[in-house]
Amino acid sequence: MAHLPPLRRLLKFFHPEAIPKLGTPLYNLVSKTVIFQQNYDLLAHDILSYGNQGNFLDVGTGPGWLLIKLYEQSPTLHVYGIDISASMVMKATAHVEKAGLSGVVEVREGEVCTIPYSDAFFDIVVSTGSIHHWKEPTRALNEIYRVLKDGGYALLYDVVSDTPRSVLKEAARDFGRLRIVLLWMHAFEEPFYSREALELLPETSLFSKGSTRFAGVLCCLIMRKKPQNG
Ligand SMILES: C[S@@+](CC[C@H](N)C(=O)[O-])C[C@H]1O[C@@H](n2cnc3c(N)ncnc32)[C@H](O)[C@@H]1O
């Protein structure tokens, strides 16, 4: 919160943490569009460049598409997803079932500040489009730190309020100008962080530092739990 300008702080105050029950079917519909599905593919590919074995957690998994894409791209993974919203968990569970992955992909209701898994259980923790919803980001990062193995990565992707023109132009080539203008407009009505604010978040957490880069139109905050002898 400390790194948000006053207007974004106000937006954050009123912005619901969980997607409300009525918003779930709408988000679910939007998430099935080509632009979203291509983006989940791109993100899964990006995530797997940090490691492709072990236990992966997606926090705020929403309809759960990223879980399915991760498993499809790397079927030896153990993939887990949590979401604070019970209606989203129902959607994700249905999608996982339909993909025939019920036995290998686990979805549960859960909150980022109290992740329902034991210490050092995950090799990689990811999240897409969720961090701007979190009311206590430092507590959230510390909890992600707790469940990561030594040397494990946290990769938190989100829209930022100051996406560079060059990134928007490239995305417009791939997805069409209209969609990218809509995304740009969307950045004004939700409490997204700026790239700098996102990069400063880990400073008050156990990670103590992080870096950012763009993967498609999303900015990725990259943090690593210190390797045991590093
Ligand atoms: C915009 S949706 C993104 C869903 C999905 N990751 C995607 O990329 O399609 C944000 C999700 O984060 C979830 N969420 C928000 N705050 C959360 C929290 N504190 N703990 C866990 N999930 C949370 C919401 O319920 C919602 O499903």
- Residue 134, ligand 1, Cβ within 6 A: yes
Asked if the structure places residue 230 within a domain, the reply is no
What is the 229 CA–ligand 1 centroid distance (Å)? Answer: 34
Ligand 1 atom showing the smallest separation from residue 85 Cα: 25
CA-proximal residue: ligand 1, atom 10 (nearest): 130
At 172, is the secondary structure helix, strand, or coil?
helix
Ligand 1 atom showing the smallest separation from residue 19 Cα: 25
Asked if the structure places residue 201 within a domain, the reply is yes
CA-proximal residue: ligand 1, atom 23 (nearest): 60
Asked if the structure places residue 180 within a domain, the reply is yes
Asked if the structure places residue 69 within a domain, the reply is yes
- Residue 93, ligand 1, Cβ within 6 A: no
Ligand 1 atom showing the smallest separation from residue 112 Cα: 20
Which residue did the predictor score with more confidence, 190 or 42?
Answer: 42
- Residue 81, ligand 1, Cβ within 6 A: no
CB atoms within 10 A of CB 217: 23
pLDDT, mean over the chain = 91
pLDDT over 80 (residue 8): no
Tens of pLDDT, residues 164-219: 999 988 888 887 887 777 777 776 767 899 999 999 999 999 999 999 999 999 99
The confidence score (pLDDT) of residue 12 equals: 65
Asked if the structure places residue 1 within a domain, the reply is no
Question: Best substitution site from 84, 125, 157 to test ligand 1's pocket, by max atoms within 8 Å of Cβ?
Answer: 84
What is the 52 CA–ligand 1 centroid distance (Å)? Answer: 23
> What number of H helices and E strands is found in the chain?
9, 7
Asked if the structure places residue 106 within a domain, the reply is yes
pTM equals: 0.91
Domain CATH for 134: 3.40.50.150
Instruction: Return d(Cα 152, Cα 154) in angstroms, integer.
Output: 7
Asked if the structure places residue 173 within a domain, the reply is yes
Q: Tell me which residue range forms the domain holding 193.
A: 6-224
Total count of domains within the chain = 1
What is the 228 CA–ligand 1 centroid distance (Å)? Answer: 31
- Residue 216, ligand 1, Cβ within 6 A: no
Residue with tokens 């569970």: 93
The confidence score (pLDDT) of residue 227 equals: 87
Instruction: Return d(Cα 7, Cα 135) in angstroms, integer.
Output: 16
Phi then psi dihedrals of residue 155, to 5 deg: -125, 105
Asked if the structure places residue 229 within a domain, the reply is no
